[in-house]
């Protein structure tokens, strides 16, 4: 839809202090990226990624910005959870009720690999998570951890990309 109040935003020039402040901020942005590799068992196998993300954040020196966790592939997901046995069991059971293994999936009919439920589960949870970094810490709740959920129907070797981006100092 065209706007009738002048040229689109991208064509408007930045003026004054905002442009200068924005450029100075861009010069201070730092990015740190790490890829984790480990084996999973499938069937809603859950792994805590929080220690690895905290370690990357510490090593990066970023004080304010954004931390992101991403899992490539369509049968695993990343979310947050209180990483304790009861909550882990509850999440596994809820995921199994949302996308049961024992119902027909068109994916299975087409490909014959029996993991249609895995794709649906992963799509419902999502492949990535972003967490604000504030004063050098992940802005997670007291009992909130970053977790990988492997939804596939078999053992896998997973790669998880962790990235921290932001300013090193105030």
pLDDT in tens, 121-155: 999 999 999 999 999 999 999 999 999 999 999 99
Q: Of the candidates 16, 142, 145, 125, which has an alpha carbon nearest to the alpha carbon of residue 77?
A: 125
- To the question of pTM greater than 0.85 for the whole model, the response is no
Backbone phi and psi for residue 111, each to the nearest 5 degrees, phi listed first: -105, -20
* Per-residue pLDDT tens digits for 34-52: 999 999 999 999 999 999 9
Q: Are 83 and 50 in contact (CB under 8 A)?
A: yes
Q: Where are the domains of the chain?
A: 31-167
**CATH match of 31-167 with 2.60.120.460:** yes
Q: Which two tokens stand for residue 81?
A: 């959870």
In sign, the C-alpha dihedral spanning 127, 133, 137, 140 is negative
Cβ-based neighbour number of residue 26 at 10 Å: 9
């Amino acid at each position: 839809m065209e706007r009738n109040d002048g040229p689109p935003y991208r064509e408007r020039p930045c003026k004054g202090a905002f442009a200068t402040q924005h450029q100075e901020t861009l010069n201070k942005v730092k990015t740190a990226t790490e890829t984790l590799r480990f084996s999973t068992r499938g069937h809603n196998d859950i792994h805590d990624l929080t220690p690895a993300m905290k370690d990357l954040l510490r090593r990066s020196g970023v004080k304010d910005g954004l931390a992101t966790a991403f899992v490539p592939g369509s049968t695993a997901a990343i979310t947050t959870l209180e990483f304790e046995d009861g909550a882990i069991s509850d999440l596994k059971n809820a995921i199994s009720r949302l996308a049961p293994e024992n119902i027909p999936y068109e994916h299975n009919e087409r490909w014959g690999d029996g993991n249609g439920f895995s794709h649906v589960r992963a799509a419902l949870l999502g492949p990535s998570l972003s967490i604000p970094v504030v004063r050098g810490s992940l802005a997670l709740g007291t009992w909130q951890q970053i977790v990988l959920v492997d939804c596939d129907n078999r053992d896998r070797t997973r790669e998880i990309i962790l990235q921290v981006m932001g300013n090193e100092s105030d």
